[in-house]
Chain A
Amino acid sequence: MEAFETVIGLETHVQLNTLSKIFCACKADSWGDPANSNICPICTGLPGVLPTLNRAVVEKAVLLAAALQADAIQDLSYLARKNYFYPDLPKGYQISQYNEPLARGGCLELPLPDGSVRVVGIEKLHIEEDAGKTIRQGDRRLIDFNRCGVPLAEVVTKPDLRSADEVAQYLIRLRQIVRWIGVSEGNMEKGQMRCDANISIRALGSEELNTKTEIKNLNSIDAARMAVQAEIERQVEEVREGGAIHPWTLNWDDENNTLFKMRAKETEADYRYFREPDLLPIRLVSSWRGAILEELPELPLERRARFIEAYRLPEYDAEILTEERSFSDYFEDALAEYGGEAKTVSNWLMNDVLRLIRERDVLAAELRLRPEHLAEIIHLLDDKKITTNIAKELLDKVQESGKAPSSIVEEEGLSQVSDQAALRKMAEQVLADNPDQVATYRGGKTTVIGWFVGQIMKQSKGKANPQMVREILEELLAN
């Protein structure tokens, strides 16, 4: 059977997390707010209003372009009107950018599970305003204008993706970057990232670009993966059966996990783009550009490579530690405080600190358990001043109270008990109370010693030095 290759390009809309909208002073993020509560004459396009550009939108978009390694962030770019009629587009045109976008070129690297890296080319990045939301209620349409004027950066890739999994990987990496550089929350479920996928197939080895279909408004990574996979399978089947691919526009039905056709797009819509006369060109003078780019941090893949190189961390650790920026900052801060093995700190972060973060749904930077606290706890453990169990409890206690670990140890008397006589006394008592278990041990089932250790740890509220307890028990049971 003929083998096919899939060609996919993505257009992703990233909601920039500015305080106000792109062209007016309304609050930009309306998540959870009642319909039509963040609107004004400007974003609802009343007669006579004019847009004024929010500079923070340009700044965040420039930062994103730089993070995507744009070849050219333009000194001069223009906003343009994209004209079309839709009830939730109150001006009858969307202010966007057309053939003079903010940035051109660039790439996003996707490390793939097999160890290879797929470099996805970026065609362009531009800024635009969002439209409103139409809600269907029976045969009525209700319009919520809250989203009108919400700032978006549209990132358009080259047709460089080859599978549904790569689409998912791309979205994961893009989301990581927008969060990392602080330009968007990138939460697809909240509509902060939305994606349109253009899909075509061709014979393996061919360089041709065939007729493509477009899937609109994919609003989760799972939806994107499933929808793209379904469309690839549909196209392959269609071609194998001798059919033709038509340039359809498709939608993904989240409820039923199926694609449905929105409209047959036989001719491209003519949006009659022209430069927006109500706004001046965007002039990125060098002082402004410089000030923006000064804010560009080390990017996740760079940091990941550095962690492997500088700290000799396994790739797996480096990947988890650099998933999110404040978590990786936390790691480096804790390591600097600790001064010991990087892998030790990494283990604590990947297991226990990550658990705290997930349980509380916060960022690492928001924890009350500061990196220096973690370093102190590891030191206490290294110095055998506390047991591992106490160390783990301490994480929660510091997080709850915000107090320094050593003062909690002091206040609550959590120091490890290494007093021979006291431990011996406890051990004797436990053996005396459990003659059956003693018999079992002496009968040859020596693993039961673990149970005795557990009893003593329980009695000592975790403070007993488990190594010493074991030694004492072994000695007593041998007699």
Chain B
Amino acid sequence: MIVETCDLPAHELVRRLKQGEITAVGILESTVARIDAVEGRAPTTAPYQAEAMDQEKIHAYITLTLDRAHEQAQAVDRALEAGEDPGVLAGVPISIKDIFCLRGTPSTAGSRILENFISPYTATPASRLEAAGAVTLGKVNLDEFTYGSSNESSAFLPPPGNPWDPKRVPGGSSGASAAAVAAGESTISLGTDTAGSIRQPASFCGVVGLKPTYGRVSRYGLIAFASSLDCPGPVTRDVTDAALALQVIAGQDPYDATTAAIPVDDYLSGLEKGVAGMRIGLSPDYFRLRYPDPETGELQEQPVAPEIAAAVRQAAAILAEAGAEIVEDVAMPNTQYGIPAYFVISRVEAASNLHRYDGVKYGLRYEGAVEDMIELYQKSRGQGFGPQPKLRILMGMYVSAEQYEKDYYQKALRVRTLIRRDFETAFDPQGDHRLDCLLTPTTPTTAFEIGRVYGDTVLMQYADLLTVPANHAGIPGISIPAGLDSLNLPIGIQLLGPDFSEAKLLRVARAYEMATDAEAWRKGKPKVLEAT
């Protein structure tokens, strides 16, 4: 089987580049050819009419920045020729979720209201990637302002398709990031994770998605959704690439007061040291979905998809084989409150974060005649925001209103503390479990069909039930591929660890990756690539 350049992981590209086997321009050309083959028509905000072809294509990129990419690739090749160090990500094609500001590019957040906003500055993690030699191909699609788990809420349509079955969603909100990495349209993508927005699409698309500890990676330049939960992180082909990318983007930033002063670990040197002696937990609370019925408030319960549960148990067996100790029955009782608490906290912050889009300074302004300023606000925001931002503003304003905030916002913050406490107990080195990490399914199901869930905001939100606790607690999590289900759709498993334990999570993930290297499912190819 011939592997095309654009399908290689970043560490392999960099190795070959430094050996002189390939050039950065060559890598770029291979990737651009792949984009031409699988991308399909460009997503726009024009009235959307679905076409048959749309169901076969990826539609990942809102904006391609090929001129920028060519300049960067040529600079890498020149540096190599001159014997200079071109950086640890030299020549690696990357895509940036269009929630990050990138100087001189439209930075749209997938919304009409920012369709014409050209950022005058670059987000810290994006500039760190570029400074390490990465080649920026463009800005990829997402749910509008990251509000969703399927990418269907973007104002830029057609929506991205899942490379394994383009009739299905790639997940969200970093859906096009995961789709682009899976389909060879970029080697690494910079995503964001507020409730699972990196891990869930990584799981749906069969790639690796890492949500770092809150404060590990700067949020400067990330167009905010829920400021206390948002985390930038990489979507990659494999675990080594995730370590490589995190190494580049992690660390304190004078422009983000919430970044931690704690030194960044070396994520690569211990990556393959294995899991001998590690304590890895399984929790029954991550094998069932418990949630209050939106109508009655009664607690409902459903198991996660059996094939996914089986993949997790299989992974536990593999890790046990590799020397880890599996700790069963770890109680995580507050997991079930993760989504309701998230509904409240994220929407209060989101409504406030969206205040600045008023049509006065930048972005969409209503063109027609208005009576006064208030009408200008109403018309501009009414026209600029899609249904998801509107719903979140409504709910955010409601639960933060003076007469309700004690019952909702303050209570949700207390729930958040309880969720954090579940993890602290599980990871406590003096506690009953003394876990190094927790092994869970990433998602309750594999990728669902476009149009099947969209419209049911509550149901859609439950796609994040198993990922959102990490955001509440601020801890790191990683989703890695762990097989294919009967529909040939990727299954993801998740590892969650204590604050700043990324090195350890990556090590466990890499151990699993090495142990399953020869598995038949690893040879599986996304459907869109079958024709190529």
Contacts and interface: CB of A to CB of B under 8 A. Distances in A.
A44 interface: yes
A63 to B, nearest CB: 22
Interface size class of B (residues with CB under 8 A): 35 or more
A50 B219 contact: yes
A85 B355 contact: yes
Contact of B220 (A45, A48, A90, A92): A48
Contacts of B356: 45, 47, 90-92
A270 B258 contact: no
Contact of A53 (B257, B348, B373): B257
A272 interface: yes
A75 interface: no
A354 interface: no
B222 interface: yes
A109 B489 CA distance: 75
Contact of A93 (B226, B352, B360): B352
Given A272-B401, A277-B349, A52 B254 contact: yes
Contacts, number: 96
B114 A52 contact: no
B224 A48 contact: yes
Interface string B107-135: 10100001001011101000000000000
B107 A47 contact: yes
A46 B120 contact: yes
Contact of B256 (A52, A87, A143): A52
A280 B257 contact: yes
B425 interface: no
- Residue in A44, A45, A278 with the greatest tally of chain B CB atoms within 10 Å: A278
A85 B107 contact: no
Interface string B125-152: 0000000000000000000000000000
A83 interface: yes
B251 to A, nearest CB: 16
A274 interface: yes
Contact of B257 (A50, A83, A143, A270): A50
Given A85-B377, A272-B400, A46 B121 contact: yes
Interface string A44-60: 11111111110000000
Interface string A22-60: 000000000000000000010011111111110000000
Interface string B74-95: 0000000000000000000000
B107 A48 contact: yes
Contacts of A41: 120-121
Interface in B213-231: 219-224, 226-228
B216 to A, nearest CB: 15
Interface in A113-169: 141, 143
Interface size class of A (residues with CB under 8 A): 20 to 34
A44 B356 CA distance: 10
A279 interface: yes
A141 B361 CA distance: 12
A81 interface: yes
A52 B400 contact: no
Contact of B358 (A49, A87, A274, A280): A87
Contacts of B402: 270, 272
Nearest to B109: A47
Nearest to B222: A48
B409 interface: yes
B375 to A, nearest CB: 12
A409 to B, nearest CB: 58
Contacts of B352: 81, 83, 92-93, 272, 274
B355 A92 contact: yes
B119 A278 contact: no
Nearest to B107: A47
B471 to A, nearest CB: 12
Contacts of A44: 361
Query: Nearest 4 CB-CB pairs, A to B?
Result: A92-B355, A277-B228, A277-B227, A272-B400
Given A47-B223, A87-B373, 14 more contacts: A45-B361, A49-B221, A50-B255, A50-B256, A52-B255, A52-B257, A83-B355, A85-B358, A87-B360, A272-B352, A274-B349, A278-B258, A279-B257, A280-B258
